[in-house]
Amino acid sequence: MVIPIFRIFDEAKAREFYIDWLGFQTNWEHRFSEDAPLYMEISRGAIRLHLSEHHGDACPGSKAFIEFENLEEYHRELINKNYKYNRPSLEIAPWNARTMTVIDPFHNQLLFSESLEK
């Protein structure tokens, strides 16, 4: 299994985006001490991501390609939450897939892709 690491700079913003809006759940969190940076794993179904406040763990502006099923339904779920910082659209990609890209508050991108060949 490959798990992308995304750099984050604000724990509250990360939780608002990934947990409250995208619907991920927190699997575990780690800090070396109370005042140390956060490192955490989140998931939604089979998707796992690591979010890190640690300098050098990852570059802001990274992108993950996520194969996804029922993308129209997920898109509807996100739009209905009325998150004021992101209103993604669905697009048809050249590789014959329905896609949706969301950009987190730290400029990381999640590209959800559902094959139209079924």
Q: What is the pLDDT of residue 73?
A: 98
The pLDDT tens digits for 46-66 are 999 999 999 888 888 999 999
85 neighbors 107 (Cβ within 8 angstroms): no
Q: Look at the pTM and tell me if it is higher than 0.85.
A: yes
Q: Where are the domains of the chain?
A: 5-115
Nearest to 21 by CA among 30, 12, 29: 12
More confident residue, 100 or 118: 100
CA distances from 34 to 41, 70, 102 (A): 18, 40, 31
CA distances from 81 to 16, 33, 114 (A): 12, 35, 22
- Which of the four CATH numbers 3.50.50.60, 3.40.50.1000, 3.10.180.10, 3.30.300.30 does domain 5-115 have? 3.10.180.10
Which band of pLDDT confidence, cut at 50, 70 and 90, is reported for residue 36? very high
97-103 and 47-52 beta bridge pairing: unpaired
